[in-house]
Amino acid sequence: MFKRKFMNQAISLAIAVMMTAGMMTGCSSSSSKNAVAPNTAEKAAGGVTPTAETSATGTPEATVSDIVSPITPEELGSGNKKWSEEETADSWMKVTNDGGATLGYTKDSGISLIQVDGYAFKDLDRDGKLDGYEDWRLDNEKRAKDLAAQMTAEEMTPLFTHGGWTSFDEKLGDDDKAYIDGGARAGVTRSAATEGNTKLAVKWSNMLQKTCESTGKWGIPATVSVDPSNISGLLDQNGLGASMDTDLAKNDAKEAAKEYRAVGITMLLGPQVDIASNPQWCRASGTYSEDPALNRDMAKAYIDGLQSTYDENGNDLGWGKDSVVAIVKHYAGAGASEGGRNDHFKTGEYTVFPGNNFAAHLIPFFDGAFKLEGKTGAAGGLMPNYAVSYSEDGSLGDEVGGAYSEYKVKLLKDNGYDGFILTDWQVTDDDARDYGVEDLKVGERFCKLYENGVDQVGGTSDLKAAQEGYDLLVEDWGEDKAIARLRDAAASFFVTQMETGLFENSYLTTDEAVNAAWTDKTKAYGAETQEKGIVMIKNKDNAIHKSDASQKKPTAYIPLVFKDKADFFSQLDGKHDYKWEPAVNVDEYSKYYNIVTDTLGDPSGKKGAYTEKDVIRASAKQLAKCDYAIVKMNNPYTNSTTDKDGNYLPNSLQYAAYTADTAKETALANGKITKEVKDGYYGAKTETVEENRSYKGNTAAKATNYADLETLQYVSKTVPKNCKVVVAMKISSSADMVWSEVEPLADAIVIYYSGSMTELAQQEEAVTKVLTGQVEPTGLLTMQQPASMKAVEAQKEDVPRDTECYVDSEGNKYDFTFGMNWSGVISDDRTTKYNAAPLTTPETISFSYAK
Domain membership flag for residue 669 = yes
Q: What is the pLDDT of residue 661?
A: 97
Whole-Å CA distances, 707 to 102, 282, 640, 729: 57, 21, 21, 14
Choosing from 672, 689, 704, the residue where a domain stops is 704
Judgement on whether residues 605 and 688 belong to the same structural domain of the protein: no
Tens digits of residue pLDDT in 392-441 = 999 999 999 999 999 999 999 999 999 999 999 999 999 999 999 999 99
Q: CA gyration radius for the chain?
A: 29
107 DSSP assignment: G
Indicate if 364 and 470 belong to the same structural domain.
yes
Cβ neighbours of residue 207 closer than 8 Å, sequence gap 6 or more = 171, 172
Confirm whether 791 is domain-assigned: no
Weakest mean pLDDT among 262-266, 518-522, 682-686: 682-686
Q: DSSP readout, 253-282? A: HHHHHHHHHHTT--EE---B-----STT-T
- pLDDT number for residue 685: 72
Domain contains 411: yes
Q: Decide if 198 is inside a domain.
A: no
Average pLDDT, the chain: 90
Q: What is the mean pLDDT of residues 683-690?
A: 72
User: Based on the domain organization, do 664 and 630 belong to the same domain?
Assistant: no
Within this chain, do residues 344 and 306 fall inside the same structural domain, yes or no? yes
Residues 762 and 650 grouped into a single domain: no
- The answer, yes or no, to whether residue 262 has pLDDT greater than 90, is yes
**Is 22 within a domain?**
no
What pLDDT score was predicted for residue 674?
Answer: 66
Adjacent-strand bridge partners of 458: 162
Pairing of strands 388-389, 83-87: unpaired
pLDDT in tens, 269-318: 999 999 999 999 999 999 999 999 999 999 999 999 999 999 999 999 99
The pLDDT of residue 700 is 96
Q: What is the mean pLDDT of residues 506-535?
A: 97
Q: Would you state the pLDDT for residue 33?
A: 31
Q: How does residue 1 score in pLDDT terms, banded at 50, 70 and 90?
A: very low
Q: Are residues 291 and 392 located together in one domain of the fold?
A: yes
Amino acid type, 289? S
Give the model's pLDDT for residue 4: 43
Q: Tell whether the model's pLDDT for residue 656 goes beyond 50.
A: yes
From the list 6, 22, 62, 14, the residue with the least C-alpha distance to 420 is: 6
- Rounded CA-CA distance 581/634 in Å is 14
Candidates 408, 358, 395; CA nearest to 840 is 358
Could you tell me if 543 and 399 lie in one domain? no
Higher pLDDT, 499 or 568: 499
For residue range 800-834, what is the model confidence (pLDDT) as tens digits? 999 999 999 999 999 999 999 999 999 999 999 99
Lowest-pLDDT range, 73-77, 151-155, 215-219, 584-588? Answer: 584-588
Residue 101 is assigned to a structural domain of this protein: no
Domain count of the fold of the chain: 3
CATH number, residue 752: 3.40.50
pLDDT tens column, 773-796? 999 999 999 999 999 999 999 999
Kindly give the interhelix angle for 520-531 and 761-771, rounded to the nearest 10 degrees. Answer: 50
**Predicted local confidence at residue 776, as pLDDT:** 98
- Residue 7, pLDDT > 80, answer no
Predicted pLDDT of residue 569? 55
Cβ within 8 Å of residue 48, ≥6 positions away: 69
Q: What are phi and psi of 107, to 5 degrees?
A: -65, -35
Residue 5 scores a pLDDT above 60: no
What are the distances in angstroms from CA 299 to CA 245, 275, 287, 358, 731?
Answer: 12, 11, 10, 19, 21
pLDDT tier for residue 551 given thresholds of 50, 70 and 90? confident
Burial 104-143 (b: 16+ CB within 10 A, else e): bbbeebebebbbbebbbbbbbbeeebbbbbbbbeeebbbb
Residue closest to 354 by CA, chosen among 665, 797, 794 = 797
- Confidence band of 388 (pLDDT split at 50, 70, 90): very high
Confidence of residue 606 (pLDDT cuts 50, 70, 90): confident
Helix then strand then coil, % of the chain, to nearest 5 = 30, 15, 50
- At residue 527, the 3 state secondary structure works out as helix
pLDDT of residue 28: 57
At 456 the pLDDT is 98
CB 3 within 8 A of CB 418: yes
For residues 687 and 716, membership in a common domain is answered with: no
| Residue 519 clears pLDDT 60, i.e. is over it | yes
The residue segments making up the domain with residue 752 are: 534-636+705-772
The residue-averaged pLDDT of 128-145 equals 97
Domain annotation covers residue 489: yes
> 423 and 567 share a domain?
no
Phi, psi of 464 (to 5 degrees): -65, -45
What is the value of pTM for the model shown?
Answer: 0.91
What are the residue ranges of helices labelled H in 308-437? 363, 406-414
Domain boundary among 652, 677, 704: 704
Residues 100, 106, 107, CA angle at the centre, nearest 5°? 110
Nearest to 495 by CA among 380, 415, 379: 380
| Sequence letter at residue 48 | V
608 and 693 inside one domain: no
How far does CA 351 lie from the centroid of its chain? Answer: 18
pLDDT over 70, % of the chain: 89
- So what's the pLDDT on residue 424? 98
Percent of the chain at pLDDT exceeding 90: 80
The pLDDT value given to residue 32: 35
CATH of the domain at 352: 3.20.20.300
Q: Per mean pLDDT, which range of 57-61, 374-378, 623-627 is the poorest?
A: 57-61
d(CA 284, CA 298) in angstroms, rounded, equals 15
Rounded distance between C-alpha atoms, residue 388 and residue 438, angstroms: 13
750, 772, 794: which is the final residue of a domain? Answer: 772
| Interatomic CA distance for residues 524 and 536, integer angstroms | 22
The mean pLDDT of 20-24, rounded to a whole number, is 40
Taken as a whole, the chain contains a residue count of 851
- Residue 687 parent element (H or E): strand 683-690
Q: Does 333 lie in the same domain as 250? A: yes
Residues 452 and 594 in one domain: no
CA 686/CA 275 separation, integer angstroms: 40
Residue pair 596/625 in contact (Cβ under 8 Å)? The answer is yes
In this structure, is residue 728 part of a structural domain? yes
Are β-strands 93-97 and 83-87 bridged in parallel, bridged antiparallel, or unpaired?
antiparallel
What pLDDT was estimated at residue 682? Answer: 62
Res 21 pLDDT > 50: no
